[in-house]
Structure 1
Amino acid sequence: MKRSSRARTGATATMAVLSLALITGCGGGSDGKDTSEGSNEGSGKASSSPTTAAKALSAAELEKLLLTQGDIKGFKVTSGDKTLLKSKSEIKTDKAECAPLAYAMAALAPGETDANASNTVTQDTASAVASKSPEDLSDADIENAFQVKLTYVGLSSYQGDGAEKALKAVSDGVQACAGGFGIAAQGEQQKITKIAPAKASGSGDESVAFSVDLTADGESTSTTTQVVRVGSTVATYYTVSFGKTAEVPEAVLSAQAAKLA
Structure 2
Amino acid sequence: MKRSSGARIGATLAVSALSLALITGCSDEGSDDTKGSSESSSSAPAAKTYTVAELQKLILAQGEVDGYKVAKTVGAPETKDEVTTSDEKCRPLALAMSAQAPGDAKAETTVTVTQEKAPTDTASKSLEDLEEGEFEDSLTDAMNVSVTLVGLSSYEGDAAQETFKSVSDAVEGCSGGFTVTADGEKQKLTKVTAEKGSGTGDESIAFASEGEMDEEMGAGTVHAEVVRHGNTLATYYTINIGALMTQKPYTVDGTVVTAQAKKIK
User: Could you tell me which amino acid in structure 2 is paired with residue 190 of structure 1?
Assistant: Q
Offset at 1:84? 2.4
User: Could you tell me which amino acid in structure 1 is paired with residue 253 of structure 2?
Assistant: P
Offset at 1:217? 3.5
Instruction: Answer whether contact 1:14 1:241 (CA < 8 A) is retained.
Output: no
1:245-260 matched pairs, under 5 angstroms: 245-260=249-264
TM-score (norm 1): 0.82
Deviations 1:42-96 (A, max 9, x none): 61125212157333111221111111111112222112x2312221111100111
Q: Secondary structure at the match of 2:105?
A: coil
Q: Secondary structure at the match of 1:178?
A: coil
Deviations 1:193-248 (A, max 9, x none): 10011010011111001111011243421111111111111100011123234411
User: Could you tell me which amino acid in structure 1 is paired with residue 255 of structure 2?
Assistant: A
Q: Secondary structure at the match of 1:170?
A: helix
Q: Does 1:47 align with 2:41?
A: no
Deviations 1:98-142 (A, max 9, x none): 0111111112111221411011111123x25369999xxx98974
Question: What is the match of residue 29 of structure 1?
Answer: none
Higher relative contact order (CA 8 A, sep 6+): 2
User: Could you tell me which amino acid in structure 2 is paired with residue 194 of structure 1?
Assistant: K
Aligned length, in residue pairs: 241
Q: Distance in 2 between matches of 1:9 and 1:110?
A: 34
Question: What is the match of residue 95 of structure 1?
Answer: 87
1:186-205 matched pairs, under 5 angstroms: 186-205=183-202
Question: What is the match of residue 29 of structure 2?
Answer: none
In structure 2, the CA distance between the partners of 1:108 and 1:88, relative to structure 1 (3 Å rule), is same
Instruction: Answer whether contact 1:115 1:156 (CA < 8 A) is retained.
Output: yes
Instruction: Answer whether contact 1:90 1:185 (CA < 8 A) is retained.
Output: yes
Q: Does 1:84 align with 2:88?
A: no
Question: What is the match of residue 212 of structure 2?
Answer: 215
Match of 2:165 among 165, 168, 171: 168
Report sequence identity in percent.
44
Q: Distance in 1 between matches of 2:262 and 2:3?
A: 41
Question: What is the match of residue 230 of structure 2?
Answer: 231
In structure 2, the CA distance between the partners of 1:59 and 1:188, relative to structure 1 (3 Å rule), is same
In structure 2, the CA distance between the partners of 1:237 and 1:147, relative to structure 1 (3 Å rule), is same
Q: For structure 1, which segment, 86-95 or 7-16, has the greater mean C-alpha deviation from structure 2 after superposition?
A: 7-16
Offset at 1:250? 1.3
Match of 2:68 among 71, 75, 80: 75
Structure 1 regions of 5+ residues with no counterpart? 27-40
The two structures, once aligned, show a CA RMSD in angstroms of 2.7
TM-score (norm 2): 0.81
Question: What is the match of residue 129 of structure 2?
Answer: none
Q: Secondary structure at the match of 1:89?
A: helix
Question: What is the match of residue 184 of structure 1?
Answer: 181
Structure 2 regions of 5+ residues with no counterpart? 26-31, 126-132
Instruction: Answer whether contact 2:48 2:230 (CA < 8 A) is retained.
Output: no
Question: What is the match of residue 32 of structure 1?
Answer: none
Question: What is the match of residue 145 of structure 1?
Answer: 142
Q: Secondary structure at the match of 2:74?
A: coil
